[in-house]
């Protein structure tokens, strides 16, 4: 438990420093971004992520997210696409983990119906700005919606609320990534999106505790 608390504190501190350096337009923010991302990977290991099938797949997802975070530091569209692919694969890992842990078919279908509502708002909002990335972004929206639906279903089956909370925060954070890249770039996207993202990843990194 001590290692978990230290890892958690270090990750939160890294996120705070990340936001501070972004606010001051300092190039070193990338270092603290990757430090924070390393923090949630370490937190997963400390939470027993390597000691259960569920934890192992969550760990793989977090590793892929780490690479996604690295690629998204770049402003080049080709590198952004690599980040999108990394996060797409991370969501596949999360989906697999939730299925391994346990889901309910009915709650999955209901959650997908509910998540179709924000998707129907997001798609027309983004569509005029996507250009050649339209198909990739549409696929990404589909996989993150499925991932979040499966997280909700897992909570219905197991009662573990950290899982859908983490997934929902991740989902919300990506709206601000999309806004920054395609609609209206600005610091406000980082100020809102990054805390949502790292909180979501931290919660998911802690969930292997329930499988020990």
Residues 162-189: pLDDT tens digits?
999 999 999 999 999 999 999 999 999 9
User: How far apart are the C-alpha atoms of 59 and 209, rounded to whole Å?
Assistant: 12
Q: How far is Cα of residue 119 from the mean position of the Cα atoms in its chain?
A: 17
The pair of structure tokens assigned to 147 is 């991932």
Residue of 84, 62, 72 whose CA lies nearest to 29: 72
Residue of 3, 14, 1, 2 whose CA lies nearest to 199: 14
pLDDT tens-digit readout, 115-139: 999 999 999 999 999 988 999 999 9
Residue 1 confidence (pLDDT): 81
Q: What is the value of pTM for the model shown?
A: 0.95
How does the average pLDDT of the chain come out, rounded? 94
Q: Which of 27-31, 194-198, 208-212 has the lowest mean pLDDT?
A: 208-212
Q: What number of H helices and E strands is found in the chain?
A: 8, 0
CB 179 within 8 A of CB 152: no
User: How far apart are the C-alpha atoms of 207 and 210, rounded to whole Å?
Assistant: 6
Domain regions of the chain by residue span: 2-211
Residue of 152, 148, 143, 167 whose CA lies nearest to 106: 152
Residue of 157, 120, 161, 160 whose CA lies nearest to 141: 120
Task: Tell me the CA distances in angstroms from 141 to 22, 25, 113, 146, 171, one per residue in order.
Answer: 27, 30, 14, 9, 9
> How is residue 210 annotated by DSSP?
G
The pair of structure tokens assigned to 26 is 């300092």
Q: How many CA atoms lie within 13 A of 21 on its CB side?
A: 14
The residues, ordered by sequence, that sit 6+ positions from 107 with a Cβ below 8 Å of its Cβ are: 152, 153, 156, 157
Residue 3 confidence (pLDDT): 87
Residue 142 confidence (pLDDT): 95
């Amino acid at each position: 438990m001590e290692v978990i608390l230290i890892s958690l504190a270090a990750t939160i501190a890294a996120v705070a420093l990340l936001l501070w350096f972004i606010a001051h337009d300092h190039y070193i923010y990338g270092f603290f971004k990757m430090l924070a991302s390393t923090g949630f990977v370490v937190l997963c290991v400390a939470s027993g992520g390597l000691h259960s099938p569920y934890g192992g797949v969550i760990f793989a997802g977090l590793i892929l997210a780490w690479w996604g975070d690295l690629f998204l530091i770049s402003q080049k569209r080709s590198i952004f696409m690599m980040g999108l692919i990394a996060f797409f694969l991370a969501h596949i890992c999360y989906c697999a983990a939730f299925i391994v842990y346990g889901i309910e078919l009915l709650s999955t279908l209901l959650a997908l119906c509910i998540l179709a509502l924000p998707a129907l708002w997001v798609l027309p909002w983004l569509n005029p700005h996507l250009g050649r990335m339209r198909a990739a972004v549409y696929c990404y929206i589909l996989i993150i919606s499925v991932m979040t639906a499966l997280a909700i279903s897992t909570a219905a089956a197991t009662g573990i609320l950290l899982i859908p909370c983490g997934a929902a925060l991740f989902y919300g954070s990506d709206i601000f990534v999309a806004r920054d890249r395609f609609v209206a770039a600005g610091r406000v996207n980082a100020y809102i999106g990054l805390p949502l993202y790292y909180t979501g990843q931290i919660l998911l990194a802690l969930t292997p505790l329930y499988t020990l």
